[in-house]
Amino acid sequence: MQAKTDSTIADKLPARLRRLEELVYNLWWSWHRSARDLFKMLDRMLWIGTRHNPILILREVPPDRLAAAAKDPAFLRHYDAVLMEMDRDLKTDGHWFARTHPATEQPTIAYFSAEFGVHISLPIYSGGLGVLSGDHLKEASDLGLPLVAVGFLYEQGYFRQRIDANGWQEAIYPALTIEQAALKPVLDEGRCCRTVSVEVGNRTVALQIWRVDVGRVPLFLMDANHDGNAPWDRELTARLYGGDQEMRIQQEILLGIGGVRILRALGCEPRVWHINEGHSSFMLLERLRELVASGRDMPTAMEMVKAETVFTTHTPVPAGHDVFSYHLMDQYFQGLWPRLGLSRDEFLALGRADDGHGGGFNMTALALRLSRRANAVSRLHGEVSRKMWRVLWPDRPEERVPIGHVTNGAHVSSWVGSVLHSLFRKHLAPDWVERHDQPTLWEKVEDIPDAELWAAHRALKRKMLSVIRERARVQRIERSASAEQLLASGILLDPEALVIGFARRFATYKRATLVLRDAERLAGLLHDKDQPIQIVFAGKAHPADDPAKRLLQEVFWTALNPQTGGRVAFVEDYDLQVARYLVQGVDVWLNTPLRPLEASGTSGMKAALNGVLNLSILDGWWAEAYNGRNGWAIDPGIGDAPPGGDRDAVEAEALHQLLAEEVTPLFYKRDIDGVPRGWVEMMKNAIRTAGELFSGRRMVQQYAREYYLPALADALAPGPETGRR
């Protein structure tokens, strides 16, 4: 993937519309409805056909259409209004951070993550972690946080999912076309793509630097597909979460060490460093190396690094933490520990966690040891993490292990459906988006007439089903999918019947097939002549996770089975676009993880923001959100017992009982106007809960108050250990 600039868009734009190029190269447009409406006005069919990619629209739209738009008064009024809104958002200092902390020195907060899910046109994410990272950047922009982000530009992304006739997942890796994404090369003085070099074992790898603007936040992405690298090194940044352990350690060296060097090369001097999951923890070693090279002794350097570092762990599953063998650490870091003034044992001890997490160098242990502030991503996950990592603080009781929690949140502007957005403008406040961190605002949800809220939900449901049918049509055209596969994809779903959604990464602990466990009972629910249910599944299994792929296959076979009558569906190739339609359009959001292995579960928050009712195990965010009036808890009272047949059977029974006795009857209980009043009342409670407590705005504000600002104060405090550099 070679850097090059392209003037195609600029050359074809009329002078009056010249700033369209500026607009499409800032992903700000992706969470502002007025901007998206502008592209629909320009060419609605291209908007649909390009999967909402305005760069492709400008490349493909006929010149005469642009010329006509440049003379259309209605289009020009909307165009000018969008640009005024963007200028106000990007160029003023009146945002929350500046208003709330006017006396604070403006720090740069560096945010490192292995994946970012901002928009489907930039497929450098796999699932929840990446979408959370993308939402964090959007909200940081909205709040005016001085944040800069670092990640990888994966030229083949994660993977596109294809399900064969036997229900087996195939992974397709299409190459990213640079010209079709909001990417710009960072250029050097010679107008070539700027690079930094990183030592990977006994060789040096050059990393190109790309920039993505996410509102006010610059996201810098590195890639190794450079002519100066050996062919095997050019593959290092090709795929997200691909390859063996040796490939993984090389990638994480580039992400952590290369990420620090990129920021230094660009003249960025962060005062707070946020590690989002352990993949980028090697950045701590690079910062130690810098400090020791500048004359600090190792103890002082460690205290300085700790003071400035925030670490977020997302993984309550021990096997989910990256652990590298000591052999690999010797191979790639044997030249580093002498430069730090450490012995091999002292160096390896930085990542040691020999308590059942597996022998080797543990990236989470490294991050926890070298971070003064660490957090889990829900209250329950905090409890699990303190228990899991108490080994690092053996002299402390479990409750005093220094791992707090910031429960995840969803970026409201990105996830609330357009019909609901208009309804909130009408009944909450015209500027509800700007004010949605005010709890009193959400009290007004009660003022929305039941019939209007129900009509809005039905509109979003019809839109979701239309998208499902359109995707099936495309599958038929593009690869001659069989009639059976089309039936399994959801084309027979009834818009009037209850729809349950289960959409997330397929992993064994998430137990996608729990609802399918009692086939006879499920059939009764599916085919009840008065109160039928329907289930829509979507999600990807990791390409190397065969047990998860077998669960997915079981779901597909169930959808394919004529006895389900088209009431069970599997939507192929789950991505940000599919997720948005599902969380807005289903009636119930189902989540059945093995407690306590769900760290947070942000998809349920997004569904609740749209009035979709959660039906979930009391795990992750739902353990603190459920109040008995905003959804249902699958809670048979067996606690956190180990997995097994009996546990699955008990929880499947509790799930089916809730569906039969509470969920389904409430959905179908209508008044004379056809409105399910009791259901709508729960919808309002769900919206209020998610809006008040589980927004991305609350999350980022909490990070700022409880983590970033205290870290900044520590970094700037005078003294021998944490003084200014």
Contact 346, 285 (CB under 8 A): no
> Lowest-pLDDT range, 3-12, 579-588, 608-617?
3-12
- Six-digit token string for 486: 């089309």
Confidence bin at 641 (pLDDT 50/70/90)? low
- Six-digit token string for 444: 């007004």
Beta strands 109-112 and 147-152 are parallel
Residue 101 lies in a domain: no
One domain for residues 488 and 399: no
Q: b/e map of 617-656 (b: 16 or more CB within 10 Å)?
A: bbbbbbbbbbeeebbbbbbbeeeeeeeeeebbeebbebbb
Average pLDDT of span 525-552:
96
One domain for residues 352 and 280: yes
Most confident of 164-168, 240-244, 531-535: 531-535
- Predicted confidence (pLDDT) at residue 722 exceeds the cutoff of 60: no
Residue 1 lies in a domain: no
> Which position has the token pair 């599958």?
475
Residue 214's DSSP bridge partners are 217
DSSP state of 612: P
Residue 541's DSSP bridge partners are 506
One domain for residues 215 and 355: yes
| Alpha helix positions (H), 480-573 | 483-488, 519-526, 546-560
- Backbone φ and ψ for 523, nearest 5 degrees, come out as -60, -40
For 658, counting Cβ atoms within 10 Å of its Cβ (0-12 exposed, 13-18 middle, 19+ buried), the class is middle
3-state DSSP call for residue 7? coil
Q: Please report, rounded to a whole number, the percentage of residues in the chain having pLDDT higher than 70.
A: 96
- pLDDT tens-digit readout, 364-401: 999 999 999 999 999 999 999 999 999 999 999 999 99
Residue 724 lies in a domain: no
Residue 725 lies in a domain: no
Decide which of 91, 114, 142 is a domain's last residue. Answer: 91
Total-model pTM: 0.96
Rounded to a whole number, what is the largest CA-CA distance in the chain?
79
Rounded CA-CA distance 432/144 in Å is 18
Residue 485 lies in a domain: yes
Beta-carbon neighbour count of residue 68 at 10 Å? 13
One domain for residues 376 and 478: no
Beta-carbon neighbour count of residue 668 at 10 Å? 16
Average pLDDT of span 218-225:
96
Contact 79, 17 (CB under 8 A): yes
One domain for residues 380 and 519: no
Count of the separate structural domains present in the chain: 3
One domain for residues 131 and 77: no
Confidence bin at 645 (pLDDT 50/70/90)? low
Show Cβ contacts of residue 309 under 8 Å, excluding neighbours closer than 6 positions: 272, 273, 274, 275, 284, 367, 370, 371, 372, 373, 711
Residue 217's DSSP bridge partners are 214
Contact 467, 581 (CB under 8 A): yes
Residue 608 lies in a domain: yes
> Lowest-pLDDT range, 145-154, 291-300, 493-502, 635-644?
635-644
* Domain at 456, CATH number: 3.40.50.2000
One domain for residues 365 and 421: no
Average pLDDT of span 570-576:
95
The Cα-based distances of 252 to 112, 183, 538 in angstroms read 11, 22, 29
Residue 374 lies in a domain: yes
- The helix-helix angle for 450-479 and 418-427 (nearest 10°) equals 160
Give the amino acid at 422: S
One domain for residues 434 and 362: no
Residue 571 C-beta-side C-alpha neighbours within 13 Å: 30
- pLDDT tens-digit readout, 651-670: 999 999 999 999 999 999 99
Laid out side by side, the sheet with 533-538 consists of 568-571, 533-538, 498-503, 588-591, 613-617, 631-634
| Positive or negative: CA dihedral 304, 309, 315, 319 | negative
For 243, counting Cβ atoms within 10 Å of its Cβ (0-12 exposed, 13-18 middle, 19+ buried), the class is middle
Confidence bin at 724 (pLDDT 50/70/90)? very low
- pLDDT tens-digit readout, 18-38: 999 999 999 999 999 999 999
Rounded CA-CA distance 633/101 in Å is 40
| E-strand stretches of 560-628 | 568-571, 588-591, 613-617
DSSP state of 282: H
Beta-carbon neighbour count of residue 267 at 10 Å? 6
Rounded CA-CA distance 176/212 in Å is 15
Contact 316, 237 (CB under 8 A): no
Give the amino acid at 709: L
One domain for residues 346 and 361: yes
One domain for residues 533 and 597: yes
- Six-digit token string for 529: 């002549």
DSSP state of 573: S
Residue 436 lies in a domain: yes
One domain for residues 309 and 450: no
Residue 695's DSSP bridge partners are 410
Verify cis geometry, omega within 30 degrees of 0, for the bond prior to 318. no
- Backbone φ and ψ for 149, nearest 5 degrees, come out as -120, 150
Q: Which domain holds residue 135?
A: 106-157+171-408+702-716
One domain for residues 358 and 258: yes
Residues recorded for the chain: 725
- pLDDT tens-digit readout, 426-467: 999 999 999 999 989 999 999 999 999 999 999 999 999 999
Decide which of 40, 61, 91 is a domain's last residue. Answer: 91
Residue 617: its pLDDT value, please? Answer: 97
- CA Rg value for the chain: 26
- pLDDT tens-digit readout, 243-266: 899 999 999 999 999 999 999 999
